Chains A and B, each alone.
Chain A
Amino acid sequence: MLLLIGALTIGLILALLALGVFISFRIFEFPDITADGSITLGAAIAAVLLVKHVNPVVATGLAAAAGAAAGSLTGVIHTRFHINRLLSGILMMTALYSINLRVMGKSNVPLLSEQTLASDAERAGIAVLRTASVNLFRWDVSTRDLSALVCALLVVTAVALVLYAFFRTDLGTAMQAAGDNQQMIRALGVNVENMIVLGLALSNGLVALAGALLAQYQGFADVQMGIGMVVWGLASIIIGESLVRTRQIGFLIVGAVMGSVLFRLLVAIALRGGLNPNDLKLITAAFVFAALVLPQLLARTTARSRRARDRRQDAAAEMA
C-alpha cells in the first residue's frame, strides 16, 4: 500500500514534467533537452530557499520562475542566434549542471527537518483527520503519505485545468497554431519566434515546478536527479496518447497525467519484482524507442499486406 501511494504521488508530481515535455515536444515539435537541467534547477532553488526558511509556496513559485527563465533562454538561443533546436537545449542543459551546483553549493541538499509543502500537507492532514495513520481498505496508511498524495492530486488537477483553459484563449490558440503551421500563423500576424520562447518558458516552468515538488516530497535535492527526465516525460506522453487516442488538447493533457501515473506504477511494480534500479534508465529508453518504432513497423507491414492484396485482386481481375 505504501508502495502504491508513493508511486501515485511521484507519478502525479512527474505528470507536471510530462505536461512540460508535452508542450515542447508535441505542441512545438521542439525536442527540448533543457528539461533535464530545469527539473534539477527547480529542485535546487526550492531546496536552498527552504533551508533558508523561505515560505514553501514562495520557494516553489520562485523555482518554477527560474525554470521558465531557463526555458526562455533556450528559446532565445534558438530563435535569435539560429542554433539548432536540439543543440540549444543541450547547451542550456549543460550550463544548468554547473548553475545547479552553484545554487546548491554541493551535490545534495537534504530537507529532512525543514518546513516544506510536504510537511505543511502533513500538518493539514493531521488537523483534518486527527490521527497519524488511517485505515484505508484494511491497510494502515500514514497521514503523511495520504496528505502528500491528496495535495499532489490537487496541484496537478489545478495545473491541468489552467493549462486547458490557456489553450482556449487567444494567446493559447496562437501558440498551438505556431506549433502546427508556422507559415499560416505568421500570415495572421503572430511572431512565431516569440511564441517559441514563450512556449519553452511555460514548458520549463512546469518542469521546474515538478522538480521543486519532487525535492520536497522525497526530502532532498540532488544534482543528478534530472538525468533522463526528458525521456521519462516522453514515455508518459506516449502512454497517455495510446490511452486517449485523439488529438484534442484537453484529452492529451489528461492522457499525459494518466500516462505519468501509470508509468510510475509499472516501474514501481517492476522494481518490487526485483528489477535492478540501475537498469531503469535503459529500460525507459528502450520503451520509448519501441513506442516510436512500432507504429512505423506496423504501418509498413499493413502497407505491404495491402499491396499484396491489391496484387492478388488485380491478378484475379485479369483472370476474369
Chain B
Amino acid sequence: MTGPMLQISGIRKTFGPGTADEVRALRGVDLQIDEGSFVIVIGTNGSGKSTLLNAVAGTFPLDSGSILLDGTDITRWPEHKRARMIGRVFQNPFSGTAPTMSIAQNLALAARRGRPRRFGWALKRRLRDELRDRVGKLGMTLQDRLDQPIGTLSGGQRQALTLLMASWLRPKILLLDEHTAALDPKGADLVVRLSEETIARDRLTALMVTHSMSQAASLGDRLVMMHRGRVIHDFRGAEKQRLRADDLLARFEDVRRADRLDESAAAMLRRLYV
C-alpha cells in the first residue's frame, strides 16, 4: 500500500455559525495515520477530539478540508456509506446495540456491515456457530445467552459486544470514542483489554479518544493532543513509549497556563487600547 491509511487534510467545522452558540470545533486539523497504527487522542473539554472522530465517521458535513481513507476520498460520503470501511464504538454503551433485539441478531447485523441486506435469513446455521465461537472467546459466558435481548446486559458486556460487532468484519479503521468512560472500573478494564487484544490480533488501524491519562500513556503507538480544535502535540515511537500519565498532566497544565496568559494579555491590550 502506498500512502497513509487515513489522511485528514485541513478539516474545519463550526457548529451553529453566526449564532450565540457558535462553536468552532475543528480549526484546521491535519493528521496522517499509517496502516496498523493505534493512535490515542486526548485533549481538554471541547478541544474537538470527539468531533474529529465524528468527522471521520461522517456524522456531519465538513466546512472545508478533506478525508481520505485507504486512498479513497470519503469527504462527501454519507455516514452509512462510510460504515463499509469503518468500525465504531461509542461512549454511551447503549448507542452501539439495538436493545430489544437478541445478542445473536445484533451480531448478525454487524456481520453484514456495509453489505446489501436482502431476503437471506439473518441467522444462518453457519453464522450461528461462528457467533458462539467468537462470543465465547470474549470469556464472558455470553455464548449460551445468544437469544437474550441485548438490553438486559450490563454496560460493560454491551460495550464488549459492540467492540466485537465493530471488528466483526475487519474495518479499515476502528474508531473508539471514549468507549470506557461510562463504564464501572471493572467493565472499563475488560473493554480496554479486549480493545488492545482485538487491535493487536487483527493488526487494525485505530483511533481512540480517551479521558484517562493512564490509558493514554499505556495504550497505542502514537498520541495526539488536541486543544481548541487543533492538534498541538503529536508523540510517536520511542517518544510515545516514554510518556507517563504525569507527563501528560504536565502538558495539560502548560496548555492551561498558556490560555491564562492569552487571557491576561488580551485583558492588558483591552486596557491599553479600548
**Could you list which residues of chain A lie within 8 angstroms of chain B, going by C-beta atoms?**
166, 168-174, 176-177, 180-181, 183-192, 247
Rounded to whole angstroms, the CA-CA distance of A81 and B108 in the bound complex is: 32
Rounded to whole angstroms, the CA-CA distance of A186 and B108 in the bound complex is: 15
Chain B residues contacting A184 (CB-CB under 8 Å) are 95-98
Docked-complex contact A180 and B100, CB < 8 angstroms: yes
Taking the closest CB of chain A, its distance from the CB of B53, in whole angstroms, is 12
Docked-complex contact A186 and B79, CB < 8 angstroms: yes
- B105, B113, B114, B165: the one contacting A173 at CB < 8 Å is B105
Q: Residue of A at shortest CB range from B99?
A: A180
Greatest chain A CB density within 10 A among B57, B83, B97 is at: B83
| Chain B residues touching A, majority SS | loop
Asked if B118 is at the interface (CB within 8 A of a chain A CB), the reply is: yes
Docked-complex contact B122 and A169, CB < 8 angstroms: yes
Asked if B81 is at the interface (CB within 8 A of a chain A CB), the reply is: yes
Docked-complex contact B80 and A173, CB < 8 angstroms: no
Docked-complex contact B80 and A192, CB < 8 angstroms: yes
Asked if B117 is at the interface (CB within 8 A of a chain A CB), the reply is: yes
16 new A-B contacts, CB < 8 A, other than A183-B90, A185-B98, are A170-B118, A170-B120, A170-B122, A173-B105, A177-B106, A180-B98, A181-B98, A183-B95, A184-B96, A186-B80, A187-B57, A187-B79, A189-B114, A190-B83, A191-B78, A247-B100
Instruction: Write the B107-124 contact mask toward A (1 if CB under 8 angstroms, else 0).
Output: 011101111011111110
Asked if B179 is at the interface (CB within 8 A of a chain A CB), the reply is: no
Docked-complex contact A168 and B80, CB < 8 angstroms: no
Query: 6 shortest A-B CB distances, which residue pairs?
Result: A189-B83, A189-B114, A180-B98, A170-B117, A177-B98, A173-B122
Chain B residues contacting A172 (CB-CB under 8 Å) are 122
Asked if B149 is at the interface (CB within 8 A of a chain A CB), the reply is: yes
Asked if B84 is at the interface (CB within 8 A of a chain A CB), the reply is: yes
Taking the closest CB of chain A, its distance from the CB of B206, in whole angstroms, is 15
Docked-complex contact B117 and A190, CB < 8 angstroms: yes
Docked-complex contact A168 and B79, CB < 8 angstroms: no
A-B contact pairs, 27 of them (CB 8 A): A168-B123, A169-B119, A169-B120, A170-B108, A170-B112, A170-B117, A170-B119, A170-B121, A170-B122, A172-B122, A173-B101, A173-B109, A176-B101, A176-B105, A180-B100, A180-B101, A181-B99, A183-B95, A186-B80, A186-B83, A187-B79, A187-B86, A187-B166, A188-B110, A188-B112, A188-B113, A189-B81
Chain B residues contacting A174 (CB-CB under 8 Å) are 109, 112, 117
Chain B residues contacting A180 (CB-CB under 8 Å) are 98-101
**Could you list which residues of chain B lie within 8 angstroms of chain A, going by C-beta atoms?**
57, 78-81, 83-84, 86, 88, 90, 94-101, 105-106, 108-110, 112-115, 117-123, 149, 165-166
| Chain A residues touching B, majority SS | helix
Rounded to whole angstroms, the CA-CA distance of A174 and B101 in the bound complex is: 11
Rounded to whole angstroms, the CA-CA distance of A174 and B119 in the bound complex is: 11
Docked-complex contact B120 and A187, CB < 8 angstroms: no
Rounded to whole angstroms, the CA-CA distance of A169 and B124 in the bound complex is: 10
Known contacts A187-B57, A189-B83, A190-B80; A168/B99 CB under 8 A: no
Chain A residues contacting B95 (CB-CB under 8 Å) are 181, 183-184
Rounded to whole angstroms, the CA-CA distance of A190 and B83 in the bound complex is: 8
Known contacts A181-B95, A187-B88; A173/B83 CB under 8 A: no
Rounded to whole angstroms, the CA-CA distance of A186 and B98 in the bound complex is: 12
Q: Residue of A at shortest CB range from B108?
A: A173
Rounded to whole angstroms, the CA-CA distance of A168 and B123 in the bound complex is: 8
Chain B residues contacting A185 (CB-CB under 8 Å) are 98, 109
Docked-complex contact B113 and A189, CB < 8 angstroms: yes
Rounded to whole angstroms, the CA-CA distance of A174 and B116 in the bound complex is: 10
Taking the closest CB of chain A, its distance from the CB of B187, in whole angstroms, is 19
- B83, B98, B120, B121: the one contacting A176 at CB < 8 Å is B98
Rounded to whole angstroms, the CA-CA distance of A190 and B117 in the bound complex is: 9
Rounded to whole angstroms, the CA-CA distance of A176 and B102 in the bound complex is: 12
Taking the closest CB of chain A, its distance from the CB of B249, in whole angstroms, is 33
Chain A residues contacting B79 (CB-CB under 8 Å) are 186-187
Chain A residues contacting B122 (CB-CB under 8 Å) are 168-170, 172-173
Rounded to whole angstroms, the CA-CA distance of A247 and B80 in the bound complex is: 27
Rounded to whole angstroms, the CA-CA distance of A264 and B97 in the bound complex is: 38
Chain A residues contacting B86 (CB-CB under 8 Å) are 187
Taking the closest CB of chain B, its distance from the CB of A300, in whole angstroms, is 23
Rounded to whole angstroms, the CA-CA distance of A192 and B81 in the bound complex is: 11
Chain A residues contacting B106 (CB-CB under 8 Å) are 177
Taking the closest CB of chain A, its distance from the CB of B152, in whole angstroms, is 11
Q: Residue of A at shortest CB range from B96?
A: A184
Docked-complex contact B97 and A181, CB < 8 angstroms: yes
Q: Residue of A at shortest CB range from B58?
A: A186
Q: Residue of B at shortest CB range from A166?
A: B119
Docked-complex contact B99 and A188, CB < 8 angstroms: no
Rounded to whole angstroms, the CA-CA distance of A152 and B110 in the bound complex is: 39
Taking the closest CB of chain B, its distance from the CB of A32, in whole angstroms, is 20
Q: Residue of A at shortest CB range from B115?
A: A189
Rounded to whole angstroms, the CA-CA distance of A184 and B108 in the bound complex is: 13
Rounded to whole angstroms, the CA-CA distance of A173 and B112 in the bound complex is: 11
Q: Residue of A at shortest CB range from B86?
A: A187
Chain B residues contacting A181 (CB-CB under 8 Å) are 94-95, 97-99
Taking the closest CB of chain B, its distance from the CB of A247, in whole angstroms, is 5
Rounded to whole angstroms, the CA-CA distance of A192 and B119 in the bound complex is: 18
Rounded to whole angstroms, the CA-CA distance of A166 and B117 in the bound complex is: 12
Chain A residues contacting B123 (CB-CB under 8 Å) are 168
Docked-complex contact B83 and A188, CB < 8 angstroms: yes
Rounded to whole angstroms, the CA-CA distance of A184 and B162 in the bound complex is: 9
Rounded to whole angstroms, the CA-CA distance of A190 and B108 in the bound complex is: 13
